[in-house]
Amino acid sequence: MTDNNSNPSNDNPIPDENQADSQPRRISFDDWVTVYHINHDTFFQLAFALPEVAVAFLKNVLPKKTLEHLDLDALEIQPGILGESDYFKKSAADLIYVVPYKESAQEIHVSVILEHKSYSERMTTFQITKYCVHIMERELEQAQKDGNKMSQFRFSPVIPIIIHHGESAFYEATVLSDLIIPLPGSEELGINAKALLFDLNQIEVDKLEFGTNVPEFFSVLKMMQAIFSRRGAIEASEALTALRPYSKDVKYYNLIRALLIYLARCSKHVTKEEYNQIIHDDTIVDQGEENMSSLVEQWIAEGEAKGFELGIEQGIVQGIEQGIEQGIEQGIEQGIEQGIEQGIEQGIEQGIEQGIERGVSQGVVKTLKDMILQTLNIRFGSVPQTVQDAVNDKSDAIVLKSLSQTALLTQSIEDFVKQL
């Protein structure tokens, strides 16, 4: 666990107030909602990839008897991409925790699959069950390659957990059998997989066990609740104030930044006036050289807003909306021309289909690039131009999705570059 009193790395320093403009402009809600492309899933993956959050979370959701057999100090966080198999198409969970099993003669690891939902989705339990089977299949294939005796082979434990926060409680099935038509007399014969449910709509965050060294766990959960709460401004302030004693530490500085961005982009009920009051509240960070308003002004002064605002406009607006519009127009025009010979109806259908597909594909690629650079910037500060260029040169959506997971888990910019 990270020592909060340790010296922050020079690779990711807190900006010096003297480096900002002498009279930085006052930052408002409208600045932040255009700064980063961040949504519920990207915030969840960023926050729950923090080791302290991961350990604190498992301590609060897993049974005590289970925790006694897990070495949480050796917990590893892996990207959720599981790849393709003989039975499943490419699949990706949100995050996977891998924890060593103590008191075992063999090297056994427990996989904890996290699937985040901001709304109730009917097939969530079926979806996460597929992830469990995929991990087991991957383990079996490795055992066969290693020449293990199949007569003695047993799978390592896999624990599926659904994490939900939304406008209402999660109401869909958490037991797979509830999605299967019942057949009298055969209830015990079918598949009966079950997922743990951690529903922030049903949990009082203040009553969870946080410990003295994990303020980020409280702040992350509190902000996730604030996003949909009608008391969002109050709860968001509580989330940020909890980090006040640690605000000069780079790690917490960046977390405060991520929390503010998430609040601006995704809050349902926090007004512009309330948001402006929050970011200019001097009690959020420790009294001294800096307060929240000066921090926000420095972030904008560093040019983050300009870079990511441009990425949002180009990636989402131009890549999807403009791409679809142009695709439809070109499709119709081409369809009319070809319709003289081949039929107007067929031409229009082909034009629209190709236009939409091209526009959506370009938009997805551009959005993934923005997400990668955003994650690196939040975690490590400014991103070197060479790294930005290398990411922007990528055009394969699958490669970019993998890089977005790497950006969440990498220990440094240098390690990320090695994966390019």
Q: pLDDT grade, residue 243 (50/70/90)? A: confident
Distances (CA, A) of 212 to 1, 110, 123, 245, 251: 12, 26, 38, 12, 16
Q: Alpha-carbon distance 384 to 58, whole Å?
A: 35
SS3 189: coil
Residue with the larger pLDDT of the pair 199 and 148: 199
SS3 407: helix
Residue with the larger pLDDT of the pair 328 and 235: 235
Beta strands at 91-100 and 109-117: parallel, antiparallel or unpaired: antiparallel
Strand order of the sheet with strand 109-117? Answer: 76-83, 91-100, 109-117, 158-164, 196-199
Q: Alpha-carbon distance 292 to 278, whole Å?
A: 8
DSSP 178: G
Q: Alpha-carbon distance 259 to 420, whole Å?
A: 28
With the C-alpha atoms ordered 214, 378, 117, 263, is the resulting torsion angle positive or negative? positive
pLDDT digits (tens, 9 = 90+) for 260-310: 888 888 888 888 888 888 877 655 655 444 445 554 555 554 545 445 555
pLDDT digits (tens, 9 = 90+) for 120-155: 999 999 999 999 999 999 899 988 998 888 888 899
Q: At what angle do helices 250-266 and 215-228 cross, to 10 degrees?
A: 10
Q: List the single range of 13-27, 59-73, 291-305, 315-329 with lowest mean pLDDT.
A: 13-27
The answer to whether 16 touches 297, Cβ cutoff 8 Å, is no
Residue tagged 């509240």 (tokens)? 281
User: For residue 310, what are its two tokens?
Assistant: 């441009």
The continuous run of DSSP H or E covering 115 comes out as: strand 109-117
For the chain, domain boundaries? 26-42+204-301, 62-199, 304-418
Q: pLDDT grade, residue 387 (50/70/90)? A: confident
Identify which of 115-124, 250-259, 290-299, 363-372 has the greatest average pLDDT: 115-124
The yes-or-no verdict on residue 359 having pLDDT over 60 is yes
pLDDT digits (tens, 9 = 90+) for 162-197: 999 998 999 999 999 899 888 888 877 777 889 999
